[in-house]
Amino acid sequence: MLEPFPISALALPAVVIFISGVVASYWITRRPLLSIIVAAVKSLIYLGYFSIVFDGTYTFLDDITYIERGAQLLRSGIKIFNLAENWDELLFAGEGQHFSYYLFNVESFRLFGVGYYAPVAVNISLTFWAAALFSLCLRDYLNWSRRTLSLYYVFVCLHPSVIAWSTVMNGKDTFVVFCTSLAIAGLVLLDRNKIIRGLMLVATSFVILTFTRFYAPLFLMSAYFLSYLHWSSLKKRKTVFFLALALALVIAIVANLGVDRLPYYYDRILSDLASPLYGFFRALLTPIPFNAEKSYGFLNLPQLFHWLSLPFALIGLFVVFRSKFVFLRFVSIYFLLGMLLLGLYNELQGPRHRYQFEIFIALFQFLGIRSMIHISSGRVQLRLR
């Protein structure tokens, strides 16, 4: 049994969460009071949980491993800027190439001290910026008013699942969500012919994701290529460009994994394949509200919201998928590809892996709710704008 942390240890990270939230929120909403309220809510939830509620009930083996190995790497003097000379130790700590989140823990400890609360504070701060980046991408295509954009941003920041996963446990999925938003922002810049900045963001995020969750960059590029395939007669040069980029990414991933290891990964995947249809719905719906294992008890209320809002999410997914905008088709294709992957692999069907797509689920829920409001007010069209 673990014990809550003293306020003195939590004060600095709580302040950082608050400041990060105010800055990111004001960037999107341009409303000082709203920005302060959103930031205060998340920082107070963090303070309350880790000073009063936290006792280790909702910790997992992976969480504790991140803490222990992160602390060990910190004692060894490993930093982001000396990776080359410590490469073997990083590979050993991560038991392979997925070591970036151990470094994330190291830098969190360097900022706030060694403790479970430290990387969680950084994760909460990243939720503001992930929501902000994705909101700006949507603004470019939906022509939303500042008010609608602000509503969506606040909806994501205070989304029950986002708050639960980013606040309660030290998991790398929030970090994956942020890197995914960064990659999507880069792809949007490329789509708008801002090549240098776009490539810089895409390359940075893809490198980080490769050492965090290697299949994410491949799925991002696959989804983006498929979304352009529909418009290939109009934008052949971009289609060829993204196909070449996707092919280069596949080659890089295969080279990184090692050709000699491919049969091992192939056999491992085959050994755990699941029924696609059953797996898809299990990955989408698990766990049943108030029927989760004790360690997942913190998801009871978020899952209730998830289940109740599912009809709205399906409406929103339909609205996005039928959109004429390539970017929105990309969002829906990426979500469906990702959920199909989770459904195909038994080990990935838990709610923890679904969380990396929560920012998209929130978009579908938001659009579905807006569409139903429009319908109830007499405007019968399902709307994006």
The model's confidence at residue 244, banded by pLDDT at 50, 70 and 90, is: low
- Asked if residue 64 belongs to a domain, the reply is no
pLDDT at 152: 96
- Asked if residue 96 belongs to a domain, the reply is no
Taking 70 as the threshold, does the pLDDT of residue 124 lie above it?
yes
- Asked if residue 294 belongs to a domain, the reply is yes
CA–CA distance, 1 with 56 (Å, rounded to integer): 6
Taking 70 as the threshold, does the pLDDT of residue 46 lie above it?
yes
* Tens-place pLDDT, residues 305-347: 999 999 999 999 988 877 777 788 889 999 998 998 888 877 7
Taking 80 as the threshold, does the pLDDT of residue 251 lie above it?
no
**How many helices and strands in the chain, by DSSP H and E?**
19, 0
pLDDT at 123: 97
Domain that holds residue 179: 7-59+116-376
* Tens-place pLDDT, residues 156-199: 999 999 999 999 999 999 999 999 999 999 988 888 889 899 98
Q: 316 with 366: CB under 8 angstroms?
A: yes
Mean pLDDT of all residues in the chain? 86
Comparing 86-100, 234-248, 280-294, 342-356, the range with the smallest average pLDDT is: 234-248
Taking 70 as the threshold, does the pLDDT of residue 221 lie above it?
yes
Comparing 29-33, 230-234, 259-263, the range with the smallest average pLDDT is: 230-234
- Asked if residue 34 belongs to a domain, the reply is yes
pLDDT at 243: 63
- Asked if residue 300 belongs to a domain, the reply is yes
- Asked if residue 65 belongs to a domain, the reply is no
pLDDT at 234: 46
Taking 60 as the threshold, does the pLDDT of residue 56 lie above it?
yes
- Asked if residue 145 belongs to a domain, the reply is yes
CA–CA distance, 344 with 273 (Å, rounded to integer): 6
Q: 334 with 341: CB under 8 angstroms?
A: no
The model's confidence at residue 60, banded by pLDDT at 50, 70 and 90, is: confident
- Asked if residue 204 belongs to a domain, the reply is yes
Record the pTM.
0.89
CA–CA distance, 177 with 130 (Å, rounded to integer): 7
> Alpha-carbon torsion 31, 173, 343, 283, what sign?
negative
Q: 20 with 119: CB under 8 angstroms?
A: no
For residues 230 and 71, which has the higher predicted lDDT (pLDDT)?
71
Number of domains in the chain: 1
